[in-house]
Amino acid sequence: MRIAKFSIAGEVRFGLVDGPELVVFKGHPLFSGYETTGERVSLKDVQLLPPTLPTSKVVCIGKNYADHAAEMGGEAPKEPLIFLKPTTSLIGNGETIVLPAISERVDHEGELAIVIGDVAKNVSEADALDFVWGFTIANDVTARDIQDRDGQWTRAKGFDTFCPLGPWIETEFEVDGQTLETRVDGELRQHASVDLLIHKVPRIIAHVSEAMTLLPGDVILTGTPAGIGRIESGQVVEISIEGIGTLTNTVA
Ligand code: MG
């Protein structure tokens, strides 16, 4: 099932993606179930929003593909390396990534994102997938020069619009055997199997929930493969994961 969050005529709603249309849910599907109003709207008539609500935090995993750790000039960490992006960095499919004037080098990082569906604290790897609502696609946009300057990553990865998320949540996604691709103006920049995640999804959830309580709607970005690169004003970034779809954003 593909679940989208969208705005239409000033109202925020959730809908079931059915081909080129959305079937509108009565309420928030995570809390009030999958009953629909029967109303259908065209996907092209709505603005898609980051497909979570509420989101108390966006947790990110750093250097979780060996080839990306190598291109950053280091080794992959033995434990999942955690950092946070503020919720004010979230934007939806079709919205614009705004380059901050104080950075001269902003990069894309295409990533598989986990959406949490239930309160998770100290969960085991064996139980971890029971706490997943679904999966979506994220861009962990990064001001690389500021990341290098600060040492800490919060500012470099925390600018407004630096967390495109969407286009929707796929609740039946199977991680195994899927491919992630990032294109900038149609040019292929990243191409990797998500099987190459060093720390797998259950391990990530167990590890994060050991430190902090995960709440419904929280998002975990699982890390980016090799091929990160600069994005510039006027470009279009497309991140695709087989079985989910394509997240498209422009840069300005
Ligand atoms: Mg990243």
Q: Domain 2-48 - what CATH class? A: mainly beta
How far is Cα 95 from Cα 23, in angstroms, rounded to an integer?
22
Q: Are 50 and 5 in contact (CB under 8 A)?
A: yes
How far apart are the CA of 139 and the centre of ligand 1, in A?
8
Produce one character per residue of 15-39: b if its CB has 16 or more CB atoms within 10 Å, e if not: bbbeeeebebbeebbbeeeeebeee
How far apart are the CA of 112 and the centre of ligand 1, in A?
10
Mean pLDDT, to the nearest integer, of 85-112? 98
How far apart are the CA of 2 and the centre of ligand 1, in A?
24
How far apart are the CA of 8 and the centre of ligand 1, in A?
31
Please give the helix or strand (H or E) that residue 115 lies within, else none.
strand 110-116
Per-residue pLDDT reduced to its tens digit, 78-88: 999 999 999 99
Decide if 2-48 and 50-251 have a common fold: no
How far apart are the CA of 237 and the centre of ligand 1, in A?
15
How far is Cα 174 from Cα 171, in angstroms, rounded to an integer?
9
Could you say which architecture CATH assigns to the domain 50-251? Alpha-Beta Complex (3.90)
How far apart are the CA of 224 and the centre of ligand 1, in A?
5
Per-residue pLDDT reduced to its tens digit, 144-175: 999 999 989 999 999 999 999 999 999 999 99
How far apart are the CA of 34 and the centre of ligand 1, in A?
32
Residue 55 pLDDT exceeds 90: no
Query: Could you state, in order of their start, the residue ranges of all structural domains in the chain?
Result: 2-48, 50-251
User: What type of residue sits at position 86?
Assistant: P
Q: What is the pLDDT of residue 113?
A: 98
How far is Cα 231 from Cα 97, in angstroms, rounded to an integer?
10
Q: What is the pLDDT of residue 238?
A: 98
**pLDDT above 90 covers what percent of the chain?**
93
Q: pLDDT category, 76, cuts 50, 70, 90?
A: confident
Residue 155: count of CB within 10 angstroms of its CB:
15
How far apart are the CA of 25 and the centre of ligand 1, in A?
32
Residue 49 pLDDT exceeds 80: yes
How far apart are the CA of 11 and the centre of ligand 1, in A?
32
pTM of the model: 0.96
Residue 54 pLDDT exceeds 80: no
Q: What is the pLDDT of residue 5?
A: 96
Per-residue pLDDT reduced to its tens digit, 213-226: 999 999 999 999 99
How far apart are the CA of 140 and the centre of ligand 1, in A?
5
How far apart are the CA of 107 and the centre of ligand 1, in A?
10
Per-residue pLDDT reduced to its tens digit, 233-246: 999 999 999 999 99
Mean pLDDT, to the nearest integer, of 116-138? 98
How far apart are the CA of 119 and the centre of ligand 1, in A?
24
* Average pLDDT for the chain: 96
Q: pLDDT category, 127, cuts 50, 70, 90?
A: very high
How far apart are the CA of 58 and the centre of ligand 1, in A?
12
How far apart are the CA of 127 and the centre of ligand 1, in A?
25
Q: What is the pLDDT of residue 175?
A: 93
Residue 97 pLDDT exceeds 90: yes
